[in-house]
């Protein structure tokens, strides 16, 4: 007999990044599979607004320090009234209040989700969150799991790597459709219809921008029709306020869809130069699902999915001179690249779909439910 759960997610951020997209996609998948889901988040946040628009139950909560005492009491009231089986906190900003309130009100399954790979210090407040307040820790990469497991002495049954899931498109478009998509992008950027494109994802800080412009100059003699296109991420918009060289373009902010990846001959993912620890970016899995060749940094988290010469190509983020050579190889070795893109697509289909993510999470819920039932049987 199938078990249906009541789940509450909490989030303190007012951003619309991969973390918030994960929460919304996971919540909608659970709702579509018969579970009840509510989201507690700032009322002015994109997550709150999108969740409400999609018919999810929402509770506004600022999670600001000055409102802490009142909001802690309100969280206890919400958990007592809703009686969720799961409370999942998605950052330290909300975990401090939400997991404490969930523990106080006896929520059976308490989860701390860690969405990036930035190192967590073994401080007393962090110990309370990762060791005392929650039953399980979810991460989005194997590297983050290994780090947190060692830092807080967590067992294999306390921490799990569950990467973000995506909806995989049915099939790659034919050449005629790809050409039309590419020409549409050229028109948006004001370029000739025979222009070709290399997509650029990630956080483009001043150091990455310098590397990007240098790469464009080095590619120009060998790939005269190719242009580098940076996605319209708000953070990248701020970085690119200065004039760009002729072959580097900032894409206007457009609605996310798979068509963009079909316009690219390959794509590059730049890491945050402040730290190289992260999960698997959604942009990377989406590109792989669309059979777009991916070039990414040889860093923790990225290595979970990008295996050099098997599912894509890796570059050393500290040696910028290696990138143009790898791009040229990718664009000039079609047979080897086709094998890589097919392997990449197969890997995404197996481990990085929304269904794979949802089913992995449900297995943890079931694990917790079985553990509770056994405990009750022993004490009865």
- Is residue 270's pLDDT more than 90? no
136-157 pLDDT, tens digit per residue, is 999 999 999 999 999 999 999 9
- Name which residue leads in pLDDT, 138 or 375: 138
Asked if 258 and 237 touch (Cβ cutoff 8 Å), the reply is no
Band of the pLDDT at 256, cuts 50, 70, 90? low
Question: What is the torsion angle, in degrees rounded to the nearest 10, for the CA atoms of residue 15, residue 21, residue 23 and residue 24?
Answer: 110
Band of the pLDDT at 358, cuts 50, 70, 90? very high
2-13 pLDDT, tens digit per residue, is 889 999 999 999
3-state DSSP assignment of residue 153: coil
Of all residues in the chain, what percent carry a pLDDT higher than 90? 76
Topology of the domain comprising 175-351: Rossmann fold (3.40.50)
- In the prediction, which pLDDT does 276 show? 65
Q: What does pLDDT average to over the chain?
A: 92
Topology of the domain comprising 6-165+353-379: Rossmann fold (3.40.50)
- In the prediction, which pLDDT does 351 show? 94
Q: Edge-to-edge, what's the strand order for the sheet holding 57-60?
A: 57-60, 36-41, 6-10, 86-89, 109-114, 136-139, 159-161
Band of the pLDDT at 171, cuts 50, 70, 90? confident
122-132 pLDDT, tens digit per residue, is 999 999 999 99
Instruction: Tell me what the mean pLDDT of segment 232-242 comes to.
Output: 55
Radius of gyration of the chain (CA): 22
3-state DSSP assignment of residue 361: helix
| Of the listed ranges 19-28, 96-105, 247-256, the one predicted with least confidence | 247-256
- In the prediction, which pLDDT does 87 show? 98
The C-alpha atoms of residue 283 and residue 82 are separated, in whole angstroms, by 35
The C-alpha atoms of residue 173 and residue 182 are separated, in whole angstroms, by 12
Residues of each domain in the chain carrying CATH 3.40.50.2000: 6-165+353-379, 175-351
Instruction: Tell me what the mean pLDDT of segment 261-273 comes to.
Output: 90
């Amino acid at each position: 007999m199938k078990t249906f759960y009541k789940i509450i997610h909490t989030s303190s951020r007012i951003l619309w990044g991969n973390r918030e997209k994960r929460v919304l996609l996971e919540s909608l998948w659970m709702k579509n599979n018969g579970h009840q889901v509510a989201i507690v988040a700032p009322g002015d946040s994109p997550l709150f607004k999108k969740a409400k628009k999609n018919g999810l139950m929402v509770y506004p909560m600022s999670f600001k320090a000055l409102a802490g005492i009142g909001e802690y009491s309100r969280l206890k009231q919400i958990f007592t009234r809703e009686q969720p089986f799961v409370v999942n906190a998605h950052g330290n900003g909300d975990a401090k209040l939400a997991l404490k309130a969930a523990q106080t009100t006896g929520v059976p399954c308490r989860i701390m989700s860690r969405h990036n790979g930035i190192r967590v210090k073994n401080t007393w407040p962090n110990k309370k969150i990762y060791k005392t307040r929650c039953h399980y820790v979810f991460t989005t990469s194997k590297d983050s799991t290994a780090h947190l497991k060692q830092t807080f002495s967590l067992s294999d049954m306390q921490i799990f790597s569950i990467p973000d899931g995506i909806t995989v498109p049915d099939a790659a478009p034919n050449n005629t459709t790809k050409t039309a998509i590419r020409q549409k992008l050229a028109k948006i950027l004001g370029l000739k219809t025979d222009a070709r494109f290399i997509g650029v994802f990630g956080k483009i800080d001043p150091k990455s921008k310098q590397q990007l412009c240098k790469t464009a100059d080095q590619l120009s003699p060998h790939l005269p029709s190719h242009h580098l296109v940076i996605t319209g991420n708000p953070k990248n918009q701020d970085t690119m306020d200065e004039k760009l060289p002729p072959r580097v373009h900032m894409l206007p902010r457009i609605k996310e869809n798979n068509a963009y990846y079909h316009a690219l001959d390959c794509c590059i993912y730049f890491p945050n130069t402040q730290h190289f620890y992260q999960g698997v970016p959604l942009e990377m899995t989406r590109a792989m699902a669309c059979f777009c060749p991916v070039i990414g940094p040889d860093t923790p988290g990225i290595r979970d999915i990008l295996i050099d010469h098997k599912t894509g190509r890796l570059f050393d983020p500290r040696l910028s001179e290696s990138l143009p050579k790898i791009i040229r190889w990718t664009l000039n070795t079609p047979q080897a690249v086709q094998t890589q893109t097919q392997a990449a697509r197969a890997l995404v289909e197996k481990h990085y779909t929304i269904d794979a993510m949802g089913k992995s999470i449900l297995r943890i819920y079931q694990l917790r439910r079985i553990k509770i039932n056994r405990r009750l049987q022993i004490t009865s």
